Amino acid sequence: MDLANFSAKLEPFLLMAKSLKGAAAAKLIQDATSAPGVFVFAELLELPNIKELEKSEQHSKFFSLLQLFSYKTYQDYLQHKDELPPLNQSQITKLKHLTIVSLAADRRILPYADLLKSLDVSNVRELEDLIIDAIYLDLLQGKLDQKEEQLEVSYTMGRDLEPGKLEYILSALKDWASTTSAVLATLDNKINQIAADAAAAKASQQEHERILQNNLKEVHEKQKEKSLGGGMATRRGAQFQVGERENMNMDVDDDSKGKNRKASQEMTPKLPRKRNKF
């Protein structure tokens, strides 16, 4: 439920209060603080005829009652109980719900021990029932951690502001805005630095790749030149070897021819010489 819906629940009482004074106005405060679904009272407090009750000795305690439900807690009631009208059960339950909202606005994690003390509740079962009812009424959102015995709050409605608190809240918001601006400026600087470092790293990588490619190209060209030079030397060596083999063949042929001639001479039978007889 948003603030507009909470304000709508108060609207009938605002219309009636404009024409009421004294005891009738005091009775209206009792009715408004007891009515289901009515959890904001600032507009009622601001009405002139309601403000008049503060100056009345007879009815001032009803104005204090309206202030109690507007921005105070159950502990405030216990401390000033004698100065206030007696509360019925509906008012007590509503005030305890509003007290949970006030505590949840200050802290996201609410231990059961703190809640039991603040609400003057004697057992965990009763406390959890109060919290569950507050969640169903959309006064807050969260979950009960029974193992850790705590309430984890994710959202609360906004209560009326106590007089003098507005300046404090504005100051806190200004501090928050300043801190946020400083954090954003730091993040921007970090992002710019990271972008610059990334650009420098990319340029360095590209330069490294360029040098590597040039070196690979030079090595490839040298290997190609060496390969071409080795091929010519191989051809020259082959030609030289062929020439040597041819020379060797010629020598072998000459030797063979010489040997063949000698062999043929040896194989040819010598004819006996005729001797002249005298």
pLDDT at 207 over 60: yes
pLDDT for the residue numbered 261 = 53
Helices and strands: H and E segment counts in the chain: 10, 3
Mean pLDDT, range 177-199, rounded to an integer:
91
Pairwise CA distance, residues 10 & 137, whole Å: 15
Quick one: pLDDT band at residue 243, thresholds 50, 70, 90? low
- pLDDT digits over 129-160, tens only? 999 999 999 999 999 999 999 999 999 998 88
**Confidence grade of residue 90 (pLDDT, cut at 50, 70, 90):** very high
Cα 202–chain centre separation: 27
Do 97 and 118 contact (CB within 8 A), yes or no?
no
**12-16, 74-78, 222-226: least confidently modelled range:** 222-226
Q: What local confidence, expressed as pLDDT, does residue 163 receive?
A: 77
**Radius of gyration, alpha carbons of the chain:** 55
Say what the alpha-carbon torsion angle 102, 106, 109, 110 is, to the nearest 10 degrees: -40
HEC profile of 160-218: CCCCCHHHHHHHHHHHHHHHHHHHHHHHHHHHHHHHHHHHHHHHHHHHHHHHHHHHHHH
More confident position, 6 or 76: 76
Check whether 263 has a pLDDT greater than 50. Answer: no
Confidence band of 254 (pLDDT split at 50, 70, 90):
low
